[in-house]
A and B are shown apart, each in its own frame.
Chain A
Amino acid sequence: AQTVTQSQPEMSVQEAETVTLSCTYDTSESDYYLFWYKQPPSRQMILVIRQEAYKQQNATENRFSVNFQKAAKSFSLKISDSQLGDAAMYFCAREGGGATNKLIFGTGTLLAVQP
């Protein structure tokens, strides 16, 4: 089965510090997209960042950046200058194939931000 693995069920970071959330995945495809979604207590799913596999450059969005290691099938999320509003569940996901944009999600990492 194609899987996405998030090995850290919970993480904690001090406000203004940096934290890295881990994600590994499996796939037999050469080109695909990877995503990080944020789910705050409101339950809304919010796209944080996405990476296309054939692009060597790591994606960045303001304080969020990824470390994409294609050969290792690793896709970690780095949050810099953490803010209280970053506290949420974070899901890693990859395209499910078939050009239908369906997603395969990991089990999530619950991030707490300490003031």
Chain B
Amino acid sequence: NAGVTQTPKFRILKIGQSMTLQCTQDMNHNYMYWYRQDPGMGLKLIYYSVGAGITDKGEVPNGYNVSRSTTEDFPLRLELAAPSQTSVYFCASSKQGNTEAFFGQGTRLTVV
């Protein structure tokens, strides 16, 4: 079982460039999330979605955009990359009524 799959695993961006972090899950979970993990700071919620067509901001949404056109996919878009967006990004999913979240392997992004 694939679970939650994120691509790419690593990426280096130049300041001002754009990119999309891909996330897909094959568990038919209706809830999906994007977190970022900075050194010594734990994980912070960027955006989340409770179903296709529904997204909402988390704790640190500035500089990011998301969409949820299907149950399976929840891409995260960085429009104008900044050094402050250097981080490890995790996508996760869970099923309504079950609190366990399943995480992808993470994407290490460096903005230079």
Total interface residues on A, CB under 8 Å, equals 23
Given the contacts A100-B50, A102-B33, A44 and B41 also touching, CB distance less than 8 Å: no
Interface assignment of B27: CB less than 8 Å from any CB of chain A: no
Nearest neighbor of A106 in chain B, beta-carbon distance: B42
Query: Complex Cα distance A61/B92, Å?
Result: 22
Q: Which of A26-58 contact B (CB under 8 A)?
A: 33, 35, 42-45, 47, 50
Q: How far is the CB of A87 from chain B (nearest CB, A)?
A: 18
Interface assignment of B94: CB less than 8 Å from any CB of chain A: yes
A-B contacts, CB under 8 A, total: 54
Q: Which of B11-38 contact A (CB under 8 A)?
A: 31, 33, 35
Nearest neighbor of B9 in chain A, beta-carbon distance: A43
Q: How far is the CB of B33 from chain A (nearest CB, A)?
A: 6
Given the contacts A100-B48, A100-B50, A91 and B43 also touching, CB distance less than 8 Å: yes
Q: How far is the CB of A59 from chain B (nearest CB, A)?
A: 12
